Amino acid sequence: MKFFSCLLAFFSCSLTLAEEKAGKSNLPPDPFSELGEIVSAPDYPVEVDRTRGSFVIDAEEGKYQPGSHFANWFWTMKAERWGNYFVGLLYESARPKLGIQVKIGEEVLKSYASRTSKRSMHEPMILGTAYIPKPGDYPVMMLTGDQSNVPAFQVKGLKFIPAPENEILGQSIDGEIVLEAKTATTYSEMMRYEPKPEKNCLGFWIYQEDWAEWIFDVSTAGEFDVTVTYGCGNGNEGSEVAIFVNDQTRKFTVEDTGGFQSWKEITLEKVKLDVEGKNKIAIIPQSKAKKAVMDIQKIVLTPAS
């Protein structure tokens, strides 16, 4: 009997190998067999400072008021410039979940803070975005669902990170990609988006270290012309500016256009966007000739003919 069992197993194994060689098998198909390597757009050829323009209000700077079912934190936040910010909670927690509500001026953000790990406790949990309409002092209040100054849950502070003021439109049906000033993230201490209709630009560019970035989706890859719309006047021409498109660099020297809102279009050397999906552009001054670099209204990528 043992002999016949071994013989049956031998024939079953032989049959399975024969089926696999013939392209037939009773094994389920590999669900990941058609997935190729994920390709990402290359990084900039220079290091960039994405911490510029961010600031933190520490827990020690605030006033804590405990409660049996809730607790409050109070701060006075000093904003140096207006603009849109991601608001992130810095904390450590051993609890599964705790309700959080933050009020900044008239903006109210709500979320749940989950348990942290050694890896996540140093990164802020983004609650949402808040718009700061002008520089100055703002009251900030945080309400938690239970005590938040105990070993099981400790608030470290709130972090404010520059955020774009509008979402970037996708690539159009004709392949054009329009990157407006209001869709840029401004890593800056002074430069910011100016919303007045006659401006609608990135302005107050008085620090060379301030820079802007657009992260956008490409649905049809290819070669593109790069057109920059900018303004400069009052004898402030002469600054050198670099446009970084992924790992490609294009530079130009700012000219006097007759005024900061007298717009001029310049077309730079073509760039290749080989990766469909996330791509990025940074505009970074390389030198500042006078009081201000320029105002930027938009960057347009047009498929090259």
The correct answer on CATH 3.30.70.3460 for the domain covering 55-162 is no
pLDDT tens readout for residues 245-261: 999 999 999 999 999 99
> Domain-by-domain residue ranges, the chain?
55-162, 177-303
Q: Which CATH number fits domain 177-303: 2.60.120.260, 3.40.50.620, 2.40.30.10, 2.40.50.140?
A: 2.60.120.260
pLDDT tens readout for residues 170-225: 899 999 999 999 999 999 999 999 999 999 999 999 999 999 999 999 999 999 99
Q: Which helix (H) or strand (E) holds 283?
A: strand 277-285
Taking CB atoms within 8 Å and a gap of at least 24, the contacts of 35-38 are none
- Opening angle at CA 141, ends 136 and 147, nearest 5: 150
* pTM recorded for the entire structure: 0.83
Show the tokens assigned to 226: 């790069």
pLDDT tens readout for residues 222-236: 999 999 999 999 899
Q: Give the β-pairing of 277-285 and 136-144.
A: unpaired
Mean pLDDT, the chain, whole residue set: 89
- pLDDT-derived band at 5 (thresholds 50, 70, 90) equals low
147 close to 70: Cβ distance less than 8 angstroms: no
Q: Do domains 55-162 and 177-303 have the same CATH topology?
A: yes
pLDDT tens readout for residues 99-144: 999 999 888 999 999 998 876 667 899 999 999 999 999 999 999 8
Specify burial of residue 208 (Cβ count, 10 A radius: 0-12, 13-18, 19+). middle
77 close to 132: Cβ distance less than 8 angstroms: no
Residues 6+ apart with CB under 8 A from 298: 178, 179, 180, 181, 228, 229
